[in-house]
Structure 1
Amino acid sequence: MIRFENISKQNSHRILFLETSAALNRGEKVGLVGPNGTGKTTLFRMITGEESPDTGQVAIEKQVSIGYFNQDVGEMSGRSAVAEVMDGAGPVSTVAAELASLEAAMCDPDRADDMDAIIERYGEVQARFEELGGYELEGRAREVLAGLSFSQEMMEADVGALSGGWKMRVALGRILLMRPDAMLLDEPSNHLDIESLIWLEEFLKGYEGALLMTSHDREFLNRIVTKIVEIDGGSLTTYSGDYAFYERQRALNEKQQQAQFERQQAMLAKELKFIERFKARASHAAQVQSRVKKLDKIERFEPPRRRQIVSFDFPPAPRSGEDVAVLKNVHKGYGQRAIYQGLDLIIRRKERWCVMGVNGAGKSTLLKLVARATEPDAGTVAVGASVRMGYFSQHAMELLDGERTVFESLEDSFPQANQGSLRALAGCFGFSGDDVEKKCRVLSGGEKARLVMALMLFNPPNFLVLDEPTNHLDLDTKQMLIMALAAYEGTMLFVSHDRHFLAALSNRVLELTPEGVHQYSGGYMEYVARTGHEAPGLRS
């Protein structure tokens, strides 16, 4: 359906693709992976025609419809979310617009002279609208928006009033309703809660077209894709399997390539030693020449290209008391809306609480209460003896000074630290070389998140309060954070929509539901086994 044939592409001085090929066939569900900056978005843009390869070609079968979702959703305002989603439904949306225009014309007394022609045209357009399934379109649009966690009120409201994250859901809904022959989804799992993610998984599993997508959510990839295309070092490499298979296969390939390289290096060293030893002896001249010619003809194996994966080891944090945080009879609300009414919770040393709940259930509010970023309306929140807290929130990223560089931000926070240790810290969080001289205002969301974590973890707290710490992080950085936190000996209270993160790190679950607050001993996987659902909003 879509083929990349010997494509090469250079961006400024950087080679993204070098005479490489791959294909997306009918009905395939393919995950596109690779480090940031390797060209994933460029590949999408070459399919849509927004960019062209320098050499080679992108071949697309005739009359294949393509829907492309990316993070740049543009301006949206003046229409309801339902109307905006319906507008993306291909030819039927054009017909719907004409139908609405004709209905308005029929009610316009100034058009009375044209009424016969208008009515005749209305009949033609109405028949076409019905043929295209237009009357079911609004119902399908509402179903898609409901799956993406929109309430009925939000569906009807002006899309311009929505936050950026909700506008992205509207843009995604447009593509899903369109059901094109091929769907290109660039990070569709960003900004989605678990309930929406699971709905989207089921939708995409049932989608019969070809799917090419990127995602920083490994569980999401594992459940949908059956093929992985990796971009690395200018090449496109195809793996038949899900993301977990790709990881295993890639590690095996690297191991085999390293062994092959080492065997060849040992053989070359042996041959060169023989040549060096006997090159001055006439009696061995023929043998020496033969071996020199042999070495000239050998195709040299390369060592595997190893990705630079960030790693971070927590320095030991001071020990806290046994009761890290105690909430007693806490009431909290906003306006007429009550969030908590009489909440009791004790967080003890080394416990790792993950907080589950639908949008608006009060997850971030709980973390703010514990971090003293907001006060309860009634009741008490007490932090225990010797507790040193580190609080990560999306708001923390907005507080970075845009005019300071990455390194200056670290120096400002730790004036007593030497430059070497600060550079090592920056390197752990993916800021190497000239990256430390970037001003904070030009950092991506992921870079800002990494910098805030570096600032928080240099002098490690013994109680981490983390509100969506994996938002904006790529798969490799997310894995680094999971490995570092798995070895962390302090206490944690966190919110995350990443099921891999939840499963790897939690040993307690706090579930917020309209019926009340439920506490579960055991981690996220035990919670799923006991309740039979992956998130509170999926209760039957």
Structure 2
Amino acid sequence: MIRLDNIGKQNGKQIVFIEAGMALLKGEKVGLVGPNGAGKTTLFRMITGEEQPDEGQVSIDRGITIGYFSQDIGEMAGRSAIAEVTDGAGPVSTVAAELRELEAAMADPDQADRMDAIIERYGEVQGRFEELGGYALEGRAQEVLAGLGFSQAMMDGDVGGLSGGWKMRVGLARILLMRPDVMLLDEPSNHLDIESLIWLEQFLKGYDGALMMTSHDRAFMNRIVTKVVEIDGGALTTYSGDYEFYAAQRALNEKHQQAQFERQQAMLAKEIQFIERFKARASHAAQVQSRVKKLEKIDRVEPPKRRQTVVFEFQPPPRSGDDVVSLKNVHKRYGSRSIYEGLDFAVRRRERWCVMGVNGAGKSTLLKLIAGTTTPDDGTVAIGANVKMAYFAQHAMEVLDGEDTIFQSLEQSFPQAGQGSLRALAGCFGFSGDDVEKRCRVLSGGEKARLVMAKMLFDPPNFLVLDEPTNHLDMATKEMLITALANYEGTMLFVSHDRHFLAALSNRVLEVSPDGVHQYGGGYTEYVARTGQEAPGLRG
């Protein structure tokens, strides 16, 4: 369906692709992976024709429809989410637009003299709309929006009133409803809660077109793709299998390449030693010459390209008391809506609670109550002895001073720390070399999250309260964070929609739901086994 042959592409001074090639075949589901800035979005834009390769060719079969979801969704306002979604559904959306215009004309007294012509045209257009399955379209649009977490009020309300994350979902719903021959999805799992993620997973599994997508969610990617294309160093490498197979295969290839490189280096060192030792002796001149020529002809094995991953190691946090936090008979309302009525909940030292619940169930409210950024209407929240808490919230990124550089921001937080240790800290969180001179105002969401996380973890608290800490983080940074937190000796309470993160780090589950609060011993994996569902919102 789509082929890239010998693609060369340069953005400014950066070489993105060199003689790169790949194919996307009918019905294939492909995961596109590679470090940030490797060229994943550029690849999508070349397929859609928004960018042209400098060399080589992008071939697309005739008549193929392509739906492209990118993070840049543009302005949306003045229409309902339903209208915004159905508008992108191909020819039927054009007919629907005319139908709406004719309905408005029929209700307009100024058009009374044209009414017979309008009604006649309305009949024709309505017939065409029916033929194209237009009446089923709105139902399908509602189904897709509901799957992505929209209430009926949100579907019918002005899309302009939605947050950026919900507008992203509208943009995604438009592509899903279109059901093109090929879907290109750039980070569709961003901004989705766990229920919507699982719904999208099922939708994409049942989609019979070809799919190519990027995602920072390992579990999501692993369950959908059957082929992985990796962009690294300007080349495209294809692996047949899911994401776990790719990760294992890549590690194995690196191990083989490293062993080959080391063997060759040892052989070269031996030959060079011989040449150096005997080059001045006439009796060995022929042998020396022969070995020099042999070395010139050898194909050098390159060492494997090392992905830059630095392991962050915690300093041991100070020990807290055994009772970390205790909530007794807590009541919390927002206006007429009751979130908690008589909540009792306690966290003890070294416990790692993940908080599960549908949107609006009160997960973030619970974290705010414990962090002290909101107070209960009734009842008590008591923090235990010697508890040193750090709270990561989504708005935590807004407190960074835009004019500070990354390094200045770290320096202000830790004036006693040496330059070397602050640079090492920055490196662990993906800021190497000149990156530390970037001003905070130009940082992406992921970079801001990494900086806030670095500041939280350098002088470690013994109680971490984390609200969606993996939003905006790429896979490599998530892995680093999971590894670091797995070795953390303190107590944790967190909300996350990343199932890999949940499974790796929790040893208790608190489920908040409209019918009360349920506690489960054992982590997320045991919770799934016990309830038979991956999230509370999936239980009917």
**Pair 115,512 (structure 1): closer, same or farther in 2 beyond 3 Å:** same
In the alignment, which residue of structure 2 is the partner of 1:263?
263
Please say which of residues 141-150 and 117-126 is displaced more in the overlay.
117-126
Which stretches in structure 1 are left out of the alignment for 5+ residues?
Answer: none
State whether residues 310 and 477 of structure 1, in contact with CA within 8 Å, keep that contact through their aligned partners in structure 2. no
1:112 shift after superposition: 4.7
Distance 1:114 1:222 in 2: 59
Question: What pairs with 1:39-54 in structure 2 (closer than 5 Å)?
Answer: 39-54=39-54
Cα distance, 1:458 vs structure 2: 1.1
The residue aligned with 2:190 is: 190
Which position in structure 1 is the counterpart of 2:275?
275
Residue 228 (structure 2) pairs with residue 228 (structure 1): yes
| 1:161 counterpart letter in structure 2 | G
* Amino acid in structure 2 at the alignment position of 1:384: G
Deviations 1:176-215 (A, max 9, x none): 0000111111110011011000000000000011111000
SS of 2:275's partner is helix
Partner residue, 1:502? 502
Counterpart of 2:473?
A: 473
Deviation (angstroms), 1:94: 0.4
* 1:377-431 per-position Cα deviation (integer Å, ceiling 9, x unaligned): 0000000000000111111101111111111111111112121111111111111
Cα shift readout 1:92-140 (whole Å, capped 9, x = no counterpart): 1001111222233344454455445434433332222122111100000
Paired amino acid for 1:422: L
Identify the residue that residue 148 of structure 1 maps to in structure 2: 148
- Once residues 289 and 415 of structure 1 are traced to their aligned partners in structure 2, the CA distance between those partners, rounded to angstroms, is 61
How far residue 481 of structure 1 moved from its aligned partner, in angstroms, is 0.3
- Separation of aligned partners in 2, 1:483 and 1:107: 64
Q: C-alpha displacement at 1:62, in angstroms?
A: 1.3
Matching residue's letter, 2:483: M
SS in 2 for 1:473: coil
The 10-residue stretch of structure 1 (386-395 or 101-110) with the greater mean CA deviation from structure 2:
101-110
Q: Which residue of 2 aligns with 1:57?
A: 57
DSSP-derived class of the 1:76 partner: coil
Q: What CA distance in whole angstroms lies between the structure 2 residues aligned with 1:367 and 1:106?
A: 54
AA partner of residue 209 (structure 2): G
Partner of 1:288: 288
2: CA distance between counterparts of 1:305 and 1:344? Answer: 52
* Structure 2: distance between partners of 1:385 and 1:107: 70
Distance 1:112 1:383 in 2: 72
Q: Which amino acid aligns with 2:415?
A: P
Write out per-residue CA displacement over residues 428-460 of structure 1, whole angstroms, 9 at most, x where no aligned residue. 111111111111111100110011111111110
Stretch deviating more after TM superposition (421-430 or 110-119): 110-119
Q: Which residue of structure 2 lines up, in the alignment, with residue 165 of structure 1?
A: 165
Tell which deviates more after alignment, 258-267 or 461-470.
Answer: 258-267
Instruction: State how far apart, in whole Å, the 1-side matches of 2:171 and 2:312 are.
Output: 37
Give the equivalent residue in structure 2 for 1:217: 217
**Distance in 2 of aligned mates of 1:379 and 1:106:** 60
What is the DSSP-based 3-state SS (H/G/I as helix, E as strand, rest coil) of the residue aligned with 2:361?
A: coil
CA contact (8 A) 1:326 1:346 kept: yes
Q: Distance in 1 between matches of 2:370 and 2:512?
A: 16
Separation (CA, whole Å) in 2 of partners of 1:421 and 1:290: 51
Is 2:435 the partner of 1:435? yes
Q: Please give the alpha-carbon distance, in whole angstroms, between the structure 1 residues aligned to 2:417 and 2:219.
A: 39
Once residues 423 and 526 of structure 1 are traced to their aligned partners in structure 2, the CA distance between those partners, rounded to angstroms, is 40
**SS of residue in 2 equivalent to 1:84:** helix
* Distance across 2 between alignment mates of 1:109 and 1:154: 32
Within a 5 Å distance, the mapping from 1:332-481 to structure 2 comes to 332-481=332-481
Q: Which residue of 1 aligns with 2:514?
A: 514
Q: 1:7-86 maps to which residues of 2 (within 5 A)?
A: 7-86=7-86
Q: What CA deviation, in whole Å up to 9, does each residue of 1:455-510 have, x standing for no partner?
A: 11111000000000000000000000000000001000000000000000000000
2:89 partner SS: coil
Give the distance between the partners of 2:337 and 2:106, measured in 1 at CA. 45
TM-score for both structures, normalised by structure 2: 0.98
User: Which residue of the partner structure matches residue 206 of structure 2?
Assistant: 206
- 1:312-331 aligned at under 5 Å gives the runs 312-331=312-331
Amino acid at match of 2:444: S
Query: Separation in 2 of the partners of 1:489 and 1:222?
Result: 30
RMSD (Å) for aligned C-alpha atoms: 1.2
Unpaired runs of 5+ residues, structure 2, are none
User: Counterpart amino acid of 1:164?
Assistant: G
Amino acid at match of 1:167: K
Structure 1 counterpart SS, 2:18? strand
Contact 1:310 1:476 in 2 (8 A): no
Give 1:282 shift. Answer: 3.5
Amino acid at match of 1:125: V
Amino acid at match of 2:228: I
Count of paired positions: 540
What SS is found at the alignment partner of 1:16?
Answer: strand
**Residue 94 (structure 1) aligns with:** 94
* CA positional deviation for 1:280: 3.2
Report the Cα distance in structure 2 between the residues aligned to 1:321 and 1:488, rounded to whole angstroms: 16
Is the contact made by 1:222 and 1:244 (CA closer than 8 Å) also made in structure 2? yes
Matches within 5 A, 1:240-251: 240-251=240-251
Q: What's the secondary structure of 1:58's corresponding residue?
A: strand
2:239 corresponds in structure 1 to 239
1:50: Cα distance to partner? Answer: 1.2
Structure 1 pair 107/394, CA: closer, same or farther in 2 (3 Å)?
A: closer
CA distance in 2, matches of 1:127, 1:120: 11
Q: Which moved more, 1:119-128 or 1:517-526?
A: 119-128
Deviations 1:61-101 (A, max 9, x none): 11111111111111111111111111111111001111222
Separation in structure 2 between the aligned mates of residue 405 and residue 125 of structure 1, nearest angstrom = 59
Q: Out of 415-424 and 182-191, give the one that drifted further.
A: 415-424
Cα distance, 1:2 vs structure 2: 1.2
Percent of pairs identical after alignment?
80
Could you tell which deviates more after superposition, 170-179 or 55-64?
55-64
Q: Is the 8 A contact 1:204 1:224 kept in 2?
A: yes
With 214-223 and 100-109 compared, the bigger mean Cα shift is at: 100-109
Task: Give the C-alpha shift of residue 274 in structure 1.
Answer: 2.5
Deviation at 1:247, TM superposition (A): 0.6
- Per mean C-alpha deviation after superposition, the further-off stretch among 495-504 and 405-414 is 405-414
User: Which amino acid in structure 1 is aligned with residue 446 of structure 2?
Assistant: G
Distance 1:106 1:374 in 2: 53
Distance 1:24 1:492 in 2: 43
Structure 1 residues 109, 392: closer, same or farther in 2, change over 3 A? Answer: closer
SS at match of 2:26: coil
Contact kept? 1:230, 1:236, Cα under 8 Å: yes
Do structure 1's residue 486 and structure 2's residue 482 form an aligned pair?
no
- Aligned to 2:129, the other structure's residue is in SS state helix
Indicate conservation of the 8 Å contact 1:485/1:505, yes or no: yes
Deviates more, 1:275-284 or 1:211-220: 275-284
